[in-house]
């Protein structure tokens, strides 16, 4: 059962993530955060070890939710097909459908946001981001490795390179979504990546 404190803490974390994605960590003030949540200083400092502690908690929560989402789609793809190529394509397509189902555009990635103000954080925060990005890329790399093992690609590419590519495309698309105010951007570019994979492996 979620205690009253857990609910309050989650409300703070969700609002903080939203504010950080729109103003950055340094740009988000505690007063604004507390005003928008309807809470006070007392509540905040009871649950978090200062602003830096909040940043860490926001990051951990985001990393956990993010990994769970992709891990879910990865497993689902494996259940939906036995073909290594189809598994990769479905994995990617599931995320596209997820984006398409959102009423509001994806608000951005905490990993990216933190990375663009890395000097505001302790080095361990950067290490944590790196670890979690690697775990995310590993999900793609595993499937791409199986695919390469099953069929020779049309060009000499590694599973790592291809996993880094979809990671770059997604992160870059989030930036472009924000900058261009075009919420279908990520979906469109993810589809381009699927084209590339098909050309590489659909002999």
Partner DNA sequence: TATAAAACATACCAAATGGTCTGTGTCAAG
Partner DNA sequence: CTTGACACAGACCATTTGGTATGTTTTATA
Q: Which residues here bind DNA, judged by CB under 7 A?
A: 3-9, 28-32, 38-43, 45-47, 50-52
Specify burial of residue 153 (Cβ count, 10 A radius: 0-12, 13-18, 19+): middle
Taking CB under 8 A as the criterion, which residues in 109-138 touch its own copies? 109, 111-113, 115-120, 126, 129-130, 133-134
Q: Which of its own copies, DNA, none does residue 118 bind to, with CB < 5 to 8 Å depending on kind? A: its own copies
CB of 7 to DNA, least distance (A): 7
Closer Cβ to DNA, 113 or 189, answer by number: 113
Torsion region of 108: left, alpha or beta (phi above 0 gives left; psi -120 to 50 gives alpha): left
Size of interface with its own copies, in residues (CB under 8 A): 53
Closest CA to 136 of 103, 105, 110: 110
CA distance 29 to 96: 33
Q: Using the 8-state DSSP alphabet, how is residue 107 labeled?
A: -
Among residues 55 and 63, whose Cβ is nearest to DNA?
Answer: 55
Q: Look at the alpha carbons of 36, 41, 42, 47 in this order and tell me if their dihedral is positive or negative.
A: positive
Closest to DNA by CB, 59 or 77: 59
Q: Which of residues 51-110 bind its own copies (CB under 8 A)?
A: 108-109
């Amino acid at each position: 059962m979620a205690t009253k404190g857990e609910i309050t803490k989650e409300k703070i974390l969700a609002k903080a993530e939203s504010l950080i994605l729109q103003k950055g960590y340094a740009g988000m003030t505690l007063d604004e955060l507390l005003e928008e949540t309807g809470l006070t200083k007392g509540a905040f400092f009871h649950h978090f070890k200062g602003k830096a502690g909040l940043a860490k908690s926001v990051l951990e929560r985001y990393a956990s939710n993010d990994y769970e989402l992709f891990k879910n789609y990865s497993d689902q793809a494996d259940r939906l097909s036995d073909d290594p190529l189809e598994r990769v394509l479905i994995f990617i397509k599931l995320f596209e459908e997820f984006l398409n189902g959102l009423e509001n555009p994806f608000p951005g990635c905490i990993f990216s946001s933190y990375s663009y103000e890395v000097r505001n954080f302790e080095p361990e925060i950067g290490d944590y981001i790196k670890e979690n990005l690697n775990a995310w890329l590993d999900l793609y790399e595993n499937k791409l490795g199986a695919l390469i093992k099953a069929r020779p690609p049309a060009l000499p590419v590694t599973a790592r390179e291809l996993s880094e590519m979809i990671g770059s495309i997604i992160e870059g698309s989030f930036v472009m979504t924000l900058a261009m105010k075009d919420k279908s951007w990520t979906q469109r570019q993810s589809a381009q990546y699927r084209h590339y994979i098909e050309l590489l492996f659909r002999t």
